[in-house]
Structure 1
Amino acid sequence: MLWTWFRRKRASGFSASSTAQEVTQGIHATALTAIVTGATSGIGIETARVLALRGVHVVMGIRNMESGREVKEAILRDNSNAKIDMMELDLSSMESVRKFAFQFNSCGLPLNILVNNAGIMATPFKLSKDNIELQFATNHIGHFLLTNLLLETMKRTAIEQRKEGRIVNVSSRRHQLSYPEGIQFDKINDKSGYNSLSAYGQSKLCNVLHVNELARHKGYLIGGMPGIGGTYQEMFEEDEGSAITANSVSPGPIATNLYRYHGLIDGSSFFWTWNWKGYSIRYQYSGNHGPALVLIHGFGANSDHWRKNISVLAESHRVYSIDLIGYGYSDKPNPREIGDGSFYTFETWATQLNEFCLDVVKDEAFFICNSIGGVVGLQAAVIAPKICRGILLLNISLRMLHITKQPWFARPFIKSFQRLLRDTAAGKFFFKAVATKESVRNILSQCYHDTSKVTDELVQVILSPGLEPGAAEVFLEFICYSGGPLPEDLLPLVKCPVLIGWGDKDPWEPIEMGRNYSNFDSVEDFIVLPNVGHCPQDEAPHLVNPLVESFVARHAKSSSTTSKVN
C-alpha cells in the first residue's frame, strides 16, 4: 500500500516516485546552459546527468575536482553527446565564490538555469575561512553571493534569448525547525549556543527567504550585505523579457551523503513518510535482509531515540523505527478537533503499529519497545497476534499514574487537576515551562544514570519535535490520560514470546516492581541491565543491541519459511 501511495499520480501527471528522467521526458533543451553546485554527489549528480541528457550545457560547480572528473566521465560514458564542464567552487569561501563567478562571467557563456544545490548538514561547530559559522557560510552566504554575482548574466541571457531564467534553491523541510527564535542574526558565530541541527535549519530557512525575495522582482541586484561587503541595498529593474523565476524546493528524504555528519542518520538509515488515515507518519528504515524489527519509542521521544541501534541491528535485520502519531515528526492532529472520546490512546497507537506492519513492513515483525512504547507493543500483539513474532520490553512503563493505582480519595482531585491542565491556560503555561533546553536536559539527567550521555544532540533530538505546532495539545492530552490498559492486563493475553530488559538505576520505573512481570507465562526471561537508567537503548546500546540480536535469533524462522502478512 505504501508504494501504491507513492506512485499515485497527482495533477501534474507525476507521483512522489517519479524520477527526474521521467519528468523531463520529451524535453529538448540544447540551447540552455545551467550551473549546478554540489554536482559530485546525491541530488547534484542526478540533476547534472538528466539536464545533460536533455541537451543542456551543464557547468558543475564543485569543490573536489577529482570527484568531479569521475562524475563527468561517468556521465559521458552513458551519454557521449553530453556537454558538461566543471569549475572549482568552494561555497564556504567568498574568495572562491567570487573567483568562480568571475571565471564564468568572463567565458562568454549564457546562463539560463542556476541550481543552488550544494550543502552540508549538522556539522560540528566550525568557522569558515571568512569566520562565519560553516553551515551558514556554505548553505546560505555562498549561494547568496553566487546568485548575486551571476544575476546580471542571467538577466542578459533572458533578454537576448527571450526565455525565462530559473533559479532553484534546494532547501529542506528542516527550514521549519531553525532555532526557536528563528534566525539568530546576532549569534551566527556563537559556539556556546550552537546546535548543529538548528543551525542547519537556520541556513535552510535563509535559502527559502532568499528565493522568496528574488521571486518578488523580475530583476534583482544586490549591492552588499553585512559580512559580504557594504550595506544591504536592493535595486530592481523591470526589463521586459528579463523575467527570472526563482523557487525553493524541499526534495524530501533522499539517500545522499548529506547526512554524513548527522548523528541521527549515519548514511545507512533514511527518513520516509507513510500516509496513515490521512496523516503523515515519519519512520526510518535500514537493512535489506533478515527478520523485521520495529522499534517503538517512549513518551515524548521519537524514532531518533534509536539512533545508536538502527545501523548496528540493520547489519542482519530489516529495521524500522516509527514516530507514533502525535510524536516526533509525525502529524499531531488536535485531539479536540477529532470528535468525542480520546484519540491519543494505546489502542490508537497499537492500530497504527499493526497497520504499519501490514502496509509498509509487509511481514511479521519483532517489536522492540521502550517505556510506554512497551504498552503500545503489547496492545498491538493482543489485537493482532499473527503480526508480532516477539516483544522485547526495555523498562516498560509501570503506568504509576493510572487512575486505578491512585487511592480512592485522591481520584476526584486528580480528575479536576487534569481538567485544569487540559482546559485552561495553565496547561499551556506548564508545557512552555517544560519545552525548553534546560528543562529537557534536567529531565533526561534524572532518567539517565550516566549523565554524560545527556548530550546537546540528545536534548535537541527530544526537544525539536516538541516545538512543532500541535505538540502542546498532544502532551497535555496524554498526561491527562490515566485510563487504558496496564502491562499486567496485557501480558496474560500475549501469545508471542516476551523478553524484558531493565536498567537497574531507573528512578521512574523501579526494578523491584518490574521484576513482578517475570511471573507471567509469556515472559521468557528478565534481564538486569547494570548501571543503566530508563532508556537503555540510548544510554547503553552496547548492552541492548546484543540482547536484541540474541532474542530475535532464538525466535526467528529461517528466511525460506517466513510467512508474509496478508
Structure 2
Amino acid sequence: MPHSPPAIPPTPTFLSVSGVRTRHIALGDGPPLVLLHGIGQSLEDWDEVIAPLAERHRVYALDLIGFGLTDKPDVPYSLAGLARFVRHFLDAVGETRPATLIGNSLGGAVAQQFAVMYPERTARLILVNSAGFGAEVTPLLRLLTVPRLGEWLLRPHPLSSARVVRAIFHDPAFVTPERLQHAAQVAEQPDRSRAYLRVARHLGTWRGIRPDWRDTLIEQLAARQLPTLLIWGEHDQILPSHHLQAAQQAYPHARSHLFKNTGHLPQVERAGDFSALVLAFLEEHTPPQNNLQENSA
C-alpha cells in the first residue's frame, strides 16, 4: 500500500534507564518495534520511517548508551552490554511484550545479540546493512581501533563529521545542512569518543571486524529460526553489499531485499519503499490479535 510522505516524528524526550539519562521516542499503538541505530549515530537515522511504522505498531527509537545525546558513562561497552541496555530500556518504558528489533549497522549486531540473550522478548529481526556478516568495513573504522590514532581521528571537527555523513549516503541530496549540523552536535558530546572507541575496539581491529563474536552470534541465533528480514543498500561504503550473501547463508530461512542505488541507510534513502517492505513482512508474521497483550506503556 503506498504511503504518504512521513510526518515529522515527535520531539525526543529523556527517561532514566538504570540511572542513564536516555533519549528516545515512543509513538503509536500495536505490536512493539525497537529501532536501533549504528555506531556513532542516533535515533535521527529513523526519522523518515517512525511515523509510517507507528501507524500499525508501537515504535520505540532510542539513542543507545554512549551514543547520540544519551549519557556516556565510563563502562566497558560490549555488544552484550548494549543488548542488556536495550532490555533495561524496554523495562523502563513498561514494554514486556516480545518485540521486533530493527537494527541498522551496529544496531543489527545489537539486535541479534538481544535475540540470543533474551529469546522470550524477541519476536522478529529486521537487519538493515547489519554488522556481523563479514570482516570488511570502512577503513575509518579500522583506523579507529589503533591506539592513539583513533583518539586523534575522533577529535570533534566539522569536516570529520561531514565526511561521515557523506559516506553513509549514495545520493548526495541526503547530505543536508540539517544532517551535517546534527552530526557535528553529536560529535561534540562529552565522552563521545570514549564510548565510540570502546565499541569499535571490542568489535574489530585494524584488520577488520573480529570473526570470533560474529561466528558465535550466528551459530547461537541460526538455530532459533526467528522470522528475519535482511535489507541492504547496493552501494554501502561502510559494510559492503556482498555481506548480504553471507547473511543469507547464515540465515537461509530469512527473507532478503537489496535496494539499488542506495547506501548505508536504506531507511532514509528509500523511506517509502522501506516502510512498505517492513510493514508487509510484519503483517505476514504477526500472530492473531487475540494472542497479543495490550501495551501497558
Match of 1:464 in 2: 185
Segments of 4+ in structure 1 off by > 6 A? Answer: none
Q: Offset at 1:468?
A: 1.2
Range with greater deviation from structure 2 (389-398 or 489-498): 489-498
Could you tell me how far apart the structure 1 residues matched to 2:146 and 2:151 are?
Answer: 13
Q: Offset at 1:565?
A: 9.7
Could you tell me how far apart the structure 2 residues matched to 1:553 and 1:539 are?
Answer: 23
Superposition pairs for residues 63-462 of structure 1, below 5 Å?
A: 266=8, 268-287=9-28, 289-335=29-75, 343-360=76-93, 361-397=95-131, 398=133, 400=135, 418=145, 420-421=147-148, 426-432=149-155, 435-462=156-183
Range with greater deviation from structure 2 (550-559 or 449-458): 550-559
Could you tell me how far apart the structure 1 residues matched to 2:14 and 2:42 are?
Answer: 14
Could you tell me how far apart the structure 2 residues matched to 1:364 and 1:488 are?
Answer: 20
Could you tell me how far apart the structure 2 residues matched to 1:474 and 1:374 are?
Answer: 18
Could you tell me how far apart the structure 2 residues matched to 1:532 and 1:284 are?
Answer: 26
Match of 1:480 in 2: 201
**Aligned partners of 2:46 and 2:268 also within 8 Å:** yes
Using CA pairs under 8 Å that are at least 6 residues apart, name the structure with larger relative contact order, 1 or 2: 2
Could you tell me how far apart the structure 1 residues matched to 2:129 and 2:70 are?
Answer: 24
SS at match of 2:178: helix
**Aligned partners of 1:293 and 1:365 also within 8 Å:** yes
Paired amino acid for 2:23: R
TM-score when normalising by structure 2 = 0.84
Paired amino acid for 2:274: V
Could you tell me how far apart the structure 2 residues matched to 1:292 and 1:494 are?
Answer: 20
SS at match of 2:73: coil
**Aligned partners of 2:233 and 2:259 also within 8 Å:** yes
Could you tell me how far apart the structure 2 residues matched to 1:565 and 1:491 are?
Answer: 27
Percent identity over the alignment?
26
Q: Offset at 1:378?
A: 0.4
Change (3 A) 1:455 1:419: closer
Could you tell me how far apart the structure 1 residues matched to 2:7 and 2:77 are?
Answer: 28
TM-score when normalising by structure 1 = 0.45
**Aligned partners of 1:282 and 1:329 also within 8 Å:** yes
**Aligned partners of 1:270 and 1:285 also within 8 Å:** no
Paired amino acid for 1:322: L
Aligned-CA RMSD value: 2.7
Superposition pairs for residues 28-43 of structure 1, below 5 Å?
A: none
Work out the number of aligned pairs and report it. 276
**Aligned partners of 1:499 and 1:526 also within 8 Å:** yes
Paired amino acid for 2:101: F
Q: Offset at 1:549?
A: 0.6
Structure 1 regions of 5+ residues with no counterpart? 1-263, 336-342, 403-413
Match of 2:239 in 1: 509
Structure 2 regions of 5+ residues with no counterpart? 1-5, 205-209
SS at match of 2:40: coil
1:445-468 deviations in whole A, cap 9, x for unaligned? 223111111111112233312211
Could you tell me how far apart the structure 2 residues matched to 1:559 and 1:463 are?
Answer: 44
Change (3 A) 1:521 1:446: closer
Q: Offset at 1:317?
A: 1.2
**Aligned partners of 1:298 and 1:372 also within 8 Å:** yes
